[in-house]
Amino acid sequence: MMQHWAKTQERGNYWGIIFVLRAYKYGGRWIMRFMLMPIIFYFFLTSKKARRASKNYLTRLHIFSGDASPFTSAPTSLNSLRHFWQFGLSVVEKTDAWIGKVNKRGIKNCGSIHFTDLENSSRGGILIGSHLGNIEVARAVANQTYKKRMNILVFTQHAQSFNRALQELNGNVAIDLIQVTEIDMALTIMLRERVDQGELVVIVGDRVSVTRPEQSVRHHFLGMPADFAIGPWVLASILECPVYFFFFLRSPHQANYHLYLDLATEQLRLPRRNRHQLLQRVLGQYVAQLEYLCRLYPYQWFNFYNFWQQHKDS
């Protein structure tokens, strides 16, 4: 039986995170990278389900991409190990960003919208991202550079543990995380007030709900049907604000980052009579962008579980 992603035990803990971050504080990023090597290799060897999920994703991407595949041949276990390692590097990058070692000069804008456009607008908006890339780095840079507040919805205790540990490392870190298990009326009202004040809401769109996995919509992703949460899109329609696709990725060839920020719609309307068709339309746009960027940055999609599982099996 397949397991819901939220029930996959997050194998790190607060003190383990503290240990790694203190290595960064006293030894720098290269010491942190050195310490991460055996940790990542250990998890690679002992996490059978995550290894299988990584190989499954990389293989699907290879087959789906055809002649445009980022791989010269069918992915192997070495490709999966590289996938795990890139996830480890994302922790280093996140720490770099919050310590202040990443700034906007190291970011190349690859989308149709610049973040300064959002900063200069009096309107708020909802940014729908994913587990492709590292939007945490983008949030850190935006926090240092711009005044517009970003409200990040997170669904795991691991994210809170990391940010709590990061604040112990650097007490000046300002982190606006909203821990949620479901999008309820109270949360929606609070977010609506913040958007009306010109703030931004950030949520990922590539996982099903923690508490209500049945509230999903099916769409083909990399050639196979997969379930995507309805929640982010329903929230976007209730907030009655511009909707943006938001991806932030490390350049595979240079020591900088690529920001993809694109307007999906000025306002998402989902009337009940044709909600499914409209959901499929906007989700199709989102999935097409996700597939395109997975081909360009194949090792930066960090969903280490069977993404194509049936929600009824969990």
Higher pLDDT, 212 or 44: 44
Contact 62, 69 (CB under 8 A): yes
- On the question of pLDDT at 7 being above 70, the answer is no
d(C-alpha 51, C-alpha 85), whole Å:
12
pLDDT tens, residue by residue, 222-238: 999 999 988 899 999 99
Contact 98, 166 (CB under 8 A): yes
pLDDT of res. 214: 72
Contacts of 128 (CB under 8 A, 6+ apart): 203, 204, 205, 232, 233, 236, 243, 244, 245, 246, 264, 286
For the chain, domain boundaries: 5-313
d(C-alpha 277, C-alpha 279), whole Å:
5
- On the question of pLDDT at 246 being above 60, the answer is yes
* Residue count of the chain: 314
d(C-alpha 279, C-alpha 149), whole Å:
28
User: Of the given ranges (202-211, 252-261, 281-290), which has the lowest mean pLDDT?
Assistant: 202-211
Q: Report the mean per-residue pLDDT for the chain.
A: 83
pLDDT tens, residue by residue, 99-147: 777 777 888 999 999 988 998 888 999 999 999 998 888 887 887 788 8
pTM assigned to the model: 0.85
- On the question of pLDDT at 300 being above 70, the answer is yes
pLDDT of res. 36: 83
Q: What is the mean pLDDT of residues 192-216?
A: 84
d(C-alpha 267, C-alpha 301), whole Å:
28
User: How much of the chain, in percent, has pLDDT values that exceed 70?
Assistant: 80
pLDDT of res. 253: 80
- On the question of pLDDT at 149 being above 60, the answer is yes
Q: What is the mean pLDDT of residues 210-219?
A: 77
Higher pLDDT, 190 or 298: 298
Residue 75 pLDDT level (bands cut at 50, 70, 90):
very high
